[in-house]
């Protein structure tokens, strides 16, 4: 056992807390901004702990009333900050693009992990290389393609492009999860008489659940935070949260409170999604299959 002096331990703890606070503070400030009134956001000195909380920012962003005292105040820009449908757009795009990416990549990854074909190794490198292109380089050509084939400004278009951008990473991640499943398990099932499809569905897929969940989380977060494609490939039909956040910046000022309220609210679905798949994440992968 390593014996550490008390002072040393306290110093270490203090340093850890200090660094943690340093990172958490901006989040805290952002979170509290969502509950502040416009005049308090920029008050000098800044109100960190004591301010008069208000739900007004949320009311404006989501078009609902919490029944509190309504202050008659002119909004900066005077525009409409009703954003509930945009949150819905984000959820739809996030869920469907993740589902699509996972559906395609599990098959691809299993094939890459288990089947022998010419150039398999190069194929993997090639898949990864497609992800090295900066998204902007893809976005501009896609703008013209989407305009021509009529996918512009549609859910389908955004879901497809998000799924597409996620595929390389998802395939490689899942491949490594499949690679971790011992081949003897496949072989044992082959001798048992099972077809390739049956082995995949009944044995491999349930074992890879944790890996699939982890990959899904990453895909979802990518889609949830993606900016450039939604910006270039949509007009009025749909807009996801990251893009719409920029609309709080108006010619007459920035609605910081509303922006913070949307940001805080946008964390909730992503958080919920991760919470749902988390159970799968921690589950042991090949536990009990092999001698440990």
Partner 1 sequence: MAEVAYHNICKSYGSVEVMRDLSLSIQDGEFAVLLGASGCGKTTLLRMTAGLENITGGELTIDGKVMNEVHPRDRDIAMVFQNYALYPTMKVFDNIAFSLEVKRLSKEEIKRKVNEAAAVLNLTDYLDRYPRELSGGQRQRVAMGRAMVRDAKVFLFDEPLSNLDAKLRAHMRVEIRQLHERLKATTVYVTHDQIEAMTMADKIVLMKGGRIEQVGTPDDLYDRPATRFAADFIGSPSMNFVEGDITTEDGNPHFVGPHINLPLDTGLKAEQGQKVICGLRPSDLVTTKSGEIKGTVKLVEKTGADVNIHVDLSETANLVATMARDNGAVAGGSIELTIPPRAVHLFDAETENRIETQTTG
Shortest approach of partner 1 to residue 179 CB, angstroms? Answer: 16
CA angle 228, 58, 54 (to 5 degrees): 135
The CA distance from 92 to 238, in Å, is 10
Determine the interface stretch with partner 1 among 86-94, 237-245, 272-280, 281-289 (rule: CB under 8 A).
Answer: 281-289
| Residue (of 64, 42, 69) closest to 54 by Cα position | 69
Is residue 286 a contact point for partner 1 (CB under 8 A)? yes
Which of 12, 201 has the CB closer to partner 1?
A: 201
Contact 206, 181 (CB under 8 A): no
- Residues 134/138/140/142 CA torsion (nearest 10 deg): -160
Determine the interface stretch with partner 1 among 49-57, 134-142, 158-166, 179-187 (rule: CB under 8 A).
Answer: 179-187
The CA distance from 274 to 216, in Å, is 9
Among 189, 214, 219, 266, binds partner 1 (CB under 8 A): 189
The size of the interface with partner 1 (CB under 8 A), counted in residues, is: 23
Shortest approach of partner 1 to residue 108 CB, angstroms? Answer: 22
Residues 6+ apart with CB under 8 A from 257: 33, 34, 36, 37, 38, 41, 56, 57
The CA distance from 281 to 291, in Å, is 22
Binding mask 198-217 for partner 1 (x = CB under 8 A): x---xx--xx----------
Is residue 288 a contact point for partner 1 (CB under 8 A)? yes
Binding mask 6-25 for partner 1 (x = CB under 8 A): --------------------
Positions in the binding site for partner 1 (CB under 8 A): 182, 184-185, 187-194, 198, 202-203, 206-207, 284, 286-291
């Amino acid at each position: 056992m390593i014996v550490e002096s008390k002072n040393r331990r306290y110093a270490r703890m203090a340093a850890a807390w200090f660094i943690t606070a340093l990172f958490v503070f901006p989040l805290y400030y952002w979170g509290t901004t969502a509950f502040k009134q416009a005049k308090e956001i920029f008050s000098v000195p800044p109100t960190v702990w004591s301010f008069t909380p208000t739900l007004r920012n949320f009311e404006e962003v989501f078009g609902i009333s919490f029944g509190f005292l309504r202050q008659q105040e002119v909004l900066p820009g005077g525009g409409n900050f009703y954003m509930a449908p945009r949150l819905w757009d984000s959820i739809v795009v996030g869920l469907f693009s993740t589902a699509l990416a996972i559906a395609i990549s599990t098959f691809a990854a299993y094939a890459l992990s288990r089947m022998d074909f010419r150039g398999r190794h190069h194929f993997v490198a090639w898949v990864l290389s497609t992800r090295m292109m900066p998204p902007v380089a893809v976005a501009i050509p896609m703008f013209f393609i989407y305009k021509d084939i009529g996918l512009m400004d549609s859910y389908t278009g955004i879901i497809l492009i998000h799924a597409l951008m996620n595929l390389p990473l998802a395939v490689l991640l899942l491949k490594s999860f499949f690679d971790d499943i011992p081949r003897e398990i496949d072989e044992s099932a082959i001798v048992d008489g099972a077809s390739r499809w049956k082995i995949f569905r009944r044995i491999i897929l349930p074992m890879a659940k944790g890996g699939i969940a982890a990959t899904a989380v990453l895909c979802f977060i990518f889609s949830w935070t993606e900016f450039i494609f939604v910006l270039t490939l949509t007009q009025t039909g749909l807009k996801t949260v990251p893009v719409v956040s920029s609309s709080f910046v108006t010619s007459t000022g920035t609605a910081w409170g509303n922006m913070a309220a949307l940001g805080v609210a946008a964390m909730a679905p992503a958080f919920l999604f991760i919470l749902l798949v988390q159970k799968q994440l921690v589950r042991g992968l090949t536990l009990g299959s092999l001698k440990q």
